[in-house]
Amino acid sequence: MADANKKTKVLIIGSGPAGYTAAVYASRAMLDPILVQGVQPGGQLTITTEVENWPGDSEVQGPALMERMLAHAEAVGTEIISDHITALDLSKRPFTATGDRGTTYSADSVILATGAQAKWLGLPSEEKYQGFGVSACATCDGFFYRGKEVAVIGGGNTAVEEALFLTNFASKVTLIHRRDSLRAEKILQDRLFKNPKVEIIWDHVIDEVLGEGGEGAPLGVTGLRIAHRDSGESRDLSVHGVFVAIGHAPSSELVKDQLETHHGGYVVVKPGTTATEIPGVFAAGDVTDHVYRQAVTSAGMGCMAALEAERFLSEQEAAEDTAVAAE
Ligand code: FAD
Ligand code: NAP
């Protein structure tokens, strides 16, 4: 049975690269942190295959990398808890969090590392081929499509940036958008329209991701079935990779009424730091980063958050000592 009450100097919420890195630094600073893993232990990298841009590993499987981060955090003494935080009260210190199974966490500081989730179209075929030709991250997976034809779905900044990035590898990039105009910035649209490798299919939605494999044979994408938004007329397109770029949703529900957010839910931090507007509450990784959204930048922010939490706690301790001495 879960311990009903836990106290810690540092409560880390989330077990992606940001959370585990914060845990390593906070543990080595002798802060005895508690890390709550959430429903996706290891975070977003557990839903991908090869990661080729984690420094020090020319190729590593995402789930294996996250297992190593977990082992590292445990080895330096972090208490790892399999739980999901359902409520967080930042109105007074110590802060309190409530877990799925009723455990209450009382914390002198909080590192919010709850990440972001790529939005998906919600098609069964899209889910089937995720990691096998369907991706939500061109920076991560574009390299696998050298000389091949790929499609990008979406019409925002992310979709246009992903499409432009993919032209570095792919022989052809087809951007498929559900309307007849993009919402991306004009300068990005200009670059897209001028790129000879890009074709745009307007007013079309995705009906199905077409593929091969299964029952022992390797899975792979072979195409897309798309339909005209108004007429419903459908046709098949031959592609090897499909990049869904219809937006990212930061996992900031826990703090949405307590901390300022921007760009659609990303937690605002003081520039150059991970400090939120509430002293003692820090945000690291994709939950605060609407620009880079990479494992290494998330890990870097996790490091910053732990160092800033340590500084915050030392200052609190010094202030309490001064107050006691003055009595
Ligand atoms: P996440 O990895 O999103 O982890 C968030 C954590 O918070 C999870 O453990 C979740 O369980 C936990 N959590 C959420 N809510 C709660 C809650 N209420 N209570 C407790 N815990 C909670 N980046 C690269 O650099 N290279 C790549 O090759 C690469 N490939 C990618 C492939 C795919 C398919 C995707 C989707 C992303 C990829 N990325 C890649 C991006 C990378 O995964 C993210 O930038 C990174 O994982 C963000 O780390 P994070 O720690 O901020 O959050
Ligand atoms: P976004 O601006 O919300 O755009 C999402 C796009 O996906 C829209 O074109 C939308 O179509 C389309 N879409 C949404 N759901 C869909 C669905 N179910 N099926 C098909 N298409 C769907 O998301 P984003 O591009 O990821 O950008 C998010 C935020 O980050 C924005 O504030 C953006 O400015 C910012 N950003 C900035 C930069 C930059 O400054 N360079 C780069 C990336 C992101 P509709 O247009 O029809 O709604």
So which residues are the catalytic ones?
Answer: 137, 140-141
What's residue 111's pLDDT? 98
Q: Which of 139, 187, 207, 246 to mutate to test the pocket of ligand 2 (most atoms within 8 A of CB)?
A: 246
- How far is ligand 1, taken at its centre, from the CA of residue 124, in Å? 22
pTM value is 0.82
CB 90 within 8 A of CB 258: yes
Domain ranges of the chain: 5-117+248-326, 120-244
- How far is ligand 1, taken at its centre, from the CA of residue 196, in Å? 34
User: Model confidence at 321, in pLDDT bands (50, 70, 90)?
Assistant: confident
- How far is ligand 2, taken at its centre, from the CA of residue 47, in Å? 22
**Which listed CATH number (2.60.120.10, 3.50.50.60, 3.40.50.2300, 1.10.630.10) goes with 5-117+248-326?**
3.50.50.60
User: Model confidence at 18, in pLDDT bands (50, 70, 90)?
Assistant: very high
Per-residue pLDDT of 171-222, as tens digits, reads 999 999 999 999 999 999 999 999 999 999 999 999 999 999 988 899 999 9
- Report how far residue 202's alpha carbon sits from residue 182's, in angstroms, rounded to the nearest whole number: 9
Q: Is 120-244 CATH 1.10.1740.10?
A: no
User: Model confidence at 306, in pLDDT bands (50, 70, 90)?
Assistant: very high
Q: Which ligand 1 atom sits closest to the C-alpha of 131?
A: 34
| Residue 47 pLDDT > 80 | no
CB 60 within 8 A of CB 103: no
Q: Which ligand 1 atom sits closest to the C-alpha of 286?
A: 52
**Measured distance between the N- and C-terminal CA atoms of the chain, rounded to whole angstroms:** 43
Return phi, psi of residue 312, to 5°.
-60, -45
Helix (H, G, I), strand (E, B) or coil at 190: helix
Of the bound ligands, which one is closest to the alpha carbon of residue 45? 1
- Report how far residue 11's alpha carbon sits from residue 288's, in angstroms, rounded to the nearest whole number: 17
Q: Which ligand 1 atom sits closest to the C-alpha of 86?
A: 18
Q: Which residues line ligand 2 (CB under 6 A)?
A: 121, 153-159, 161, 178-179, 183, 246-248, 263-264, 290
On the question of a common fold for 5-117+248-326 and 120-244, the answer reads yes
What's residue 182's pLDDT? 98
Per-residue pLDDT of 82-109, as tens digits, reads 999 999 999 999 999 999 989 999 999 9
Q: What percent of the chain has pLDDT over 90?
A: 87
Per-residue pLDDT of 249-302, as tens digits, reads 999 999 999 999 999 999 999 999 999 999 999 999 999 999 998 999 999 999
pLDDT mean over 314-320: 90
What's residue 3's pLDDT? 58
CB 122 within 8 A of CB 128: no
CA distances for 46 relative to 16, 63, 114, 259, 295, angstroms: 9, 4, 14, 28, 12
Closest CA to 105 of 32, 4, 24: 4
What's residue 48's pLDDT? 73
Residue-averaged pLDDT of the chain: 95
| Residue 162 pLDDT > 60 | yes
User: Model confidence at 52, in pLDDT bands (50, 70, 90)?
Assistant: confident
| Residue 2 pLDDT > 60 | no
CA distances for 205 relative to 149, 153, 202, 286, angstroms: 18, 9, 9, 28
pLDDT mean over 106-122: 95
Of the bound ligands, which one is closest to the alpha carbon of residue 250? 1
- Report how far residue 241's alpha carbon sits from residue 310's, in angstroms, rounded to the nearest whole number: 44
Residue nearest to atom 39 of ligand 2 (CA): 157
What's residue 220's pLDDT? 96
Q: Which residues line ligand 1 (CB under 6 A)?
A: 13-19, 36-41, 43-45, 47-48, 51, 53, 84-85, 113-116, 118, 135-137, 140, 251, 254, 285-286, 293-296, 298
